[in-house]
Amino acid sequence: MVYFVPRVSPLSCLFAFLLTCVFAALVHLAMRRRIAGIPMAESLKSVE
């Protein structure tokens, strides 16, 4: 049976953190215009 030692280095955690931040920044940049175009006061009104 093959057994792998579970080992997470601090560099792996840093890489995962940076990759998450880059992905979040890309999503933010892609959605910025679309979200800014939504009139917030009107979108909170109830639909009747």
pLDDT of residue 32: 92
pLDDT of residue 6: 86
* Inside any domain, residue 2: no
* Inside any domain, residue 18: yes
* Inside any domain, residue 47: no
pLDDT of residue 10: 93
Dihedral over alpha carbons 30, 33, 35, 36 (to 10 degrees): 150
Least confident of 24-28, 35-39, 41-45: 41-45
Give the pair of three-digit tokens for residue 48. Answer: 């009747």
Residue-number span of the structural domain to which 35 is assigned: 10-41
Between CA 23 and CA 31 the distance in angstroms is 12
Between CA 30 and CA 23 the distance in angstroms is 11
3-class secondary structure, 8? coil
* Inside any domain, residue 46: no
Q: How many domains does the chain have?
A: 1
| pTM for the full predicted model | 0.63
Identify the residue whose tokens are 């998450």. 20
Mean pLDDT of 21-44: 90
